[in-house]
Structure 1
Amino acid sequence: MMRTFMRLLTRRSLPDEELPTPDLSRIFPELRRSEPEGNDTAADKDAAEPEASGNDEPANLPAAETGSPEMNGDDIPGPLEPAEFSDWLAGDLEQMRENFHALRDLPTSPRRIRALFLSAHNLRGTAEPYGYPIIGRICTSLCRLLEDIEDAEPDLALINLHVEASSAAARTGGAAASEELADTVCRSLEEKVDLRAARR
């Protein structure tokens, strides 16, 4: 059942044009087939963007890092309702996907690595309290992978597996029926990250 996905986990990095988009519906059975996603062209626009030499921070940095005014007590939002969180989760997963596509176009860009790291970091901190522990675990693994990149070129195939697995887990609605399989996926991703870190 997991043969295809496990083969992908054991592969080495692939050229950008060969990056797989695994069908994780076999690992997360609750996934309902939806309309195929269109090709994201946002990264194409960003690919021609010159890298800034003095300010290499992504546009989506938190207010504290961009110098924006701090929120006062009245501006701080309360806990999200489940429906609100679902919308937020979908938006953050899409942002993470766009940041990955941008990194794929320019893999050595510290700015784009940082942007993808921030997307994963945001998700790992909030997914578990709202009933998506698998997403939190996957994004924790992705953050560790991105932290270990340093000056090396990132493993785009492994990053892609993290991004796709997060989206697949979200589409299950946090269901526990696939917990054992999802745990196997997470452990496989974590072991792959461990192996990469050990080689450095």
Structure 2
Amino acid sequence: MSRPENAICDISFISTPSSSVSEAPGYPPVETTTEVRNPWLLSDEQIMEAMQIGKSLQLTLDSYYKFEKDYYTQYVEGTKALKSELTILTPYFSILRKACLYKSNYQDYSFAEAQKDAQEGSKFLSFSVVAYGASIDFCQILNAVLILPDGSVIHPIDQKVPSIADKSSSWPHYPAYQAACLWFFDTSQIGRNDTVTFVLIRELGEQRAVIDLSKYK
């Protein structure tokens, strides 16, 4: 399936001295600041588009979940017996998803709310993982990191990992348990069009997924 064209938190603006300064005698040069736009911050047009798409979808396999698969990615190495499901939750897709869920629950999701979510959501890039294991507490040792294009490694600024896993659809057979997890990474360290490697660290080794962020709105 083809992925959507790239178009998916408040980062402090970077202040840089202006090249033109006051030349008035007896006074120090006057520095001006230039606001650098956070590339992860959605425009009003992008917010509106995400909301419209989300509200047009139904929570069915041939509607929302079919669209959601465009934000799945595949692991290229690791423990193949435990195929974790990885979804990239960009700020754009997060608003789209929330709009869909609100509509399905007959709730109103206003543009003002979406703008606030976009502002907050531009601070972090989220990865949703459904991991599988053999024991009910396997998720307690799950962790994740992100490898940047220059080889540097960043750790999550926050995470949501349950202490106890749920039964999987294959229970009581292996893998009998599954856990829905979230990891959040600081976007001030991640370029909007970077190719990054998401690494899921678990008891049986690592699972890695190479992600070209330019392919995701």
Same fold? TM cut 0.5: no
**Normalised TM-score (structure 1):** 0.30
Relative to total residues, which structure has the larger strand share, 1 or 2?
2
- The normalised TM-score by structure 2 is 0.28
Q: Which has the higher helix share?
A: 1
Choose between structure 1 and 2 for higher RCO, CA contacts under 8 A separated by at least 6 residues. Answer: 1
